[in-house]
Amino acid sequence: MFVIFGAAGNVGRVSAAALRRAGCDVRAVVRSAEQGAVLEEIGCEIAIADLLDAASVARAIEGAYAVQILCPVPRADADPATTMRRMIDVSANVLRADPPQRVLALSDYGAEHPSGTGITTLFHTLEMRLAPIPAQLTFLRAAEHMHNWARILPVALARGVLPSLHHPLTKLFPTVAAEDVGLLAAELLLDERPAKEAPRVVSIEGETRVSALDLAHTLGALTHRQITAYEVPRGEWAAMLQGAGLGENHARLITDLYDAHNAGRIDVETGISERRFGSTALADVFAAILARVAATSTASAAAR
């Protein structure tokens, strides 16, 4: 049994579908029965779990051969770092008590740094807490997800301006499509190579690094509009993020992350031997996001 946490998410649902295509039994772990409906249609067993509840996590991994674990940063939380650390502790304790043969943790570029990287510091904690588990352990470190820009694209379309915390606008940085991460995760879970004592660390990013200017150009080309990239001044980051609905603590995690990004600390760890590259282009991801935005707008208009 392959157990996929976060199976309703952009990465998890791709992993679950790939494993089902490979003929594997898959238990899709989600937060609600509604989230599991589509996964059930492709033959997944559905488990409902709360990552803060050890008993539900233990039930989800019972009888597992392999587990793909994800501890997401909780968005609507007054103290997301503390809550995510609790999720990590719960998952690590349960996996240590009932270890499967294989564990793959979805991690982040820069997770080798113990401090000073904002959100990414939490993925360092995840890796450190999982490291002692007696299983064949893989950390899949992904670059910034292209889909993260989904929340900003409607604003960019409304104003003709794409705000960026990446400085300068010409700076190239790694990104990756969630679909490519999900497919690689499934591939690594199925990889039967002999186990090593140390965790296996694999990185993934897209074939081409991009800049904020590239993002704006791509969005403009897809929408046949003039979209200008805007370098948000450092002193305005916190206010902008809180104005978008994030709490003060969450905003601080993001500002610390982009400070680290702009200092060149969020990248492939020096000496990593396994680097992979996704094939999905930025334009394809943005086109899919725009299609969903248009469909949502159409549905909202029809409801009125």
Catalogue the E-assigned strands of the chain: 2-5, 26-30, 45-48, 66-69, 102-108, 136-142, 144-145, 161-164, 175-176, 200-206, 228-231, 274-278
Give CA–CA dist 83/77, Å, rounded.
8
- C-beta pairs of 192-199 under 8 Å, 24+ apart in sequence: 195/136, 196/136, 199/127, 199/130, 199/131, 199/137, 199/138, 199/139
pLDDT in tens, 19-42: 999 999 999 999 999 999 999 999
3-state class (DSSP) for residue 276: strand
Please give the structure tokens belonging to residue 5.
């946490």
232 compared with 151, residue with greater pLDDT: 232
Give CA–CA dist 278/165, Å, rounded.
24
- Per-residue pLDDT, 85: 97
B/e letters for 226-251, b = 16+ CB within 10 Å, e = fewer, are ebebbebeeeebeebbeeeebbeebb
What pTM does this model have? 0.94
pLDDT class for 228, splitting at 50, 70, 90? very high
**Which neighbouring-strand residues pair with 278?**
206
- Is the confidence at residue 149, as pLDDT, over 60? yes
Please give the structure tokens belonging to residue 48.
């409902």
- Per-residue pLDDT, 193: 74
- Per-residue pLDDT, 271: 83
Residue 127's alpha-carbon distances to 10, 78, 124, 139, 266, in angstroms, are 21, 24, 5, 7, 16
pLDDT in tens, 47-68: 999 999 999 999 999 999 999 9
Q: What is the mean pLDDT of residues 202-210?
A: 97
- Per-residue pLDDT, 244: 87
pLDDT over 90, % of the chain? 88
- Per-residue pLDDT, 300: 55
- Is the confidence at residue 197, as pLDDT, over 90? no
pLDDT in tens, 108-145: 999 999 999 999 999 999 999 999 999 999 999 999 99
121: number of Cβ within 10 Å: 21
pLDDT class for 96, splitting at 50, 70, 90? very high
54: number of Cβ within 10 Å: 16
R_g of the chain, CA atoms, integer Å: 19
Angle between helices 178-190 and 12-21 (to 10 degrees): 50
Q: How far is CA 64 from the centre of its chain?
A: 23
Task: Give domain 2-145+177-205+267-279's CATH superfamily.
Answer: NAD(P)-binding Rossmann-like Domain (3.40.50.720)
pLDDT in tens, 246-304: 999 999 999 999 999 999 999 999 887 799 999 999 999 999 999 987 776 665 555 55
pLDDT in tens, 155-178: 899 999 999 999 999 999 999 999
- Per-residue pLDDT, 294: 77
